[in-house]
A and B are shown apart, each in its own frame.
Chain A
Amino acid sequence: MNICVCIKQVPDTNRIKIDPVTNTLVRKGVPSIINPFDTYAVEMAAKLKEECGGKVVVISMGPAQASKALRVCLSVGADEAYLISDRAFGGSDTLATGYILAGAIKKIEELEELKFDLIFCGKQAIDGDTAQVGPQIAEQLGLAQATYALDVSCTNDHAIVKREVDGGYDTVLVQTPAVVTVVHTDQMPRYATYSTRCEAKKKQVHVLSSAELSELDLAQCGLSGSPTRVVNTYTPSVQKLGIMIEGSSTTELVDKLVGILDDKRLL
């Protein structure tokens, strides 16, 4: 069982602050992390490899610094790592990203002389929150997909995927090769140990640029290949009354609040 895991290095959005003066996002000093959903995808792949054998290849599209995230994956179960990096890929929206990653996956199958049975992604990245790249890789590669996976087990040419759906879960039989997007599962991602970290250090993070991915049509990559445009960004603002109810006792506070609710006929 060969598995490709797509990961993304993201800013830790829980630690992002808004500059109160300029009302803009302060990215300085915000640590880069591996997108949390992707860490569950890596763990799922590592476990499947332990059970069924095969190879786990982890890939990421991003700037050179993303190779750090890939190296971490090498220390927690991945065998090979590929960074897909080129200025021509910058500014890609989900359609262009799916196109580039699909092209890279085909190229890596050639280079590694294998076929992937499964391609894993985190269900979404916490910076963009689109959840679109996984299905769009699947479409570009013409593969089946199963999104929101909690668990995956494999038979010969099928995967059995437990999917998180509204109000419960579905168990789905999926033809492989397939793309599976992974949610926050019960399987906590493993930690690297001293020895796995040392082994990971010896490995190379391969870099694929548009030169190696020569079959890609650059018109479909980056900004020129992206049908969507961000025309405006701003911090969320809310117009609220902001009235603090004051009082010296619980009874007084509650009486005042109920008085307001009654006056405004709110309940």
Chain B
Amino acid sequence: MNTDIWIYIETENGKALNVGYELINAARPIAAQKNSKIVALVVGKNILKAAQDAIGYGADSAIILDADVYASYSTDAYAEAITYLINKYDPETMMFGATTNGRDMAPRIACRVSTGLTADCTDIGIDEASGCVRWTRPTFGGNLMADIICPERRPQMGTVRPGVFRKAEFDPSRKGNIVDETANIHIDPEHIRTKLLEHVDVVAEAVNLEDADVIVAGGRGIGSVDNIHLLEELAEVTGGTVACSRPVAEAGWMNHNRQVGQSGKTVSPSVYFAIGISGAVQHTAGMQGSGTIIAINSDPEAPIFDIADYGIVGDLNAIVPALTKKLKERKM
């Protein structure tokens, strides 16, 4: 057993998803305190660049699996290969992004190596009493936070939400060893019991809420789909991205991929405009890490004001266009 912290770097068409690099940065304080090495585990096809970048973002070294069999994700191939590597290297800690694939694969691997896995964490640190990783996650629909540890079995494992942590500044001068394990693992095609027949992109435009610096989010209070343009105009002048709370996505006024909250995305922009959003825990669980929260709501009792830095009580149909206009004038 060593004290290595492994960060799984998920790739898509050879490109790393941001969450892997975010986790490298998130693990650094733990690594510093435990004197651990951070190892990026990069799996996919044509992923050498993603592994080199992982080192630039703060990993000490990387292990790669680069082959056709990993070109598209399959539970069976990925779980088999990663389990092999865990058994071979015996890391103390392993973190995955809590993405669709991360949450599909991590429980299988944890079960195969018979260890504990904490799901969908929004914070990580060290539990002082035990020295274990402290995995913090919302539970009961975001109403309660729980700190969880895995005292005895190793690796201690967790999936961590994308967008909670920021990746480090890229440092091209960092050096690290890249170990190619591809040749040591032979995946029998018979073992892969799923076959991807088709992938369909429903969303014409990619929305990257997790990386947005400014978010303009609307809730039920915007009243109708016809008022979305008010948010879009404010977003345009602030260089922001439009988002929404669950009722708006469920009403079909905005696509689900723009939904922020416990059942949507977790975001931490510098500035978050909450417009016509009441502030149910369901929503605030996904945005309370934002730098500055500005709430505009007609109901002075709305709980959103409890977590806002600046609040305005009033009619959003008047205030939002006036704010957009003022900011536009100021820019000229």
A residues contacting B by CB (< 8 A) are: 11, 13-14, 16, 18, 25, 93-95, 98, 126-136, 138-140, 144-148, 160, 164-175, 178, 226-236, 238, 240-245, 250-251, 253-255, 257-258, 260-262, 264, 266-267
Contact = CB atoms under 8 A, between A and B. Distances in A.
Contact of A228 (B116, B202, B238, B281): B116
Interface in B123-150: 127, 129-130, 134, 138-150
Nearest to B240: A267
Contacts of A257: 294, 310, 312, 323
B200 A168 contact: yes
Contacts, number: 236
Contact of A229 (B151, B196, B201, B282): B151
A178 to B, nearest CB: 7
A230 B149 CA distance: 7
A254 B147 CA distance: 41
A236 B312 CA distance: 23
Contact of A172 (B101, B152, B196, B319): B196
Contact of A138 (B108, B149, B293, B327): B108
B281 A95 contact: no
B285 interface: yes
Contact of B120 (A130, A146, A175, A258): A130
> Which of under 10, 10 to 19, 20 to 34, or 35 or more describes the interface residues of B?
35 or more
B283 to A, nearest CB: 12
A133 B111 CA distance: 10
23 contacts: A16-B141, A94-B119, A95-B117, A128-B139, A136-B108, A144-B76, A145-B104, A168-B199, A169-B199, A174-B194, A175-B193, A226-B116, A229-B149, A230-B148, A231-B129, A236-B281, A238-B288, A240-B306, A240-B309, A242-B311, A250-B322, A255-B326, A266-B292
B271 to A, nearest CB: 5
Interface in B149-176: 149-153
B8 interface: no
B198 interface: yes
B310 A165 contact: no
B202 A168 contact: yes
Interface in B262-295: 262, 270-271, 281-282, 284-285, 288, 291-294
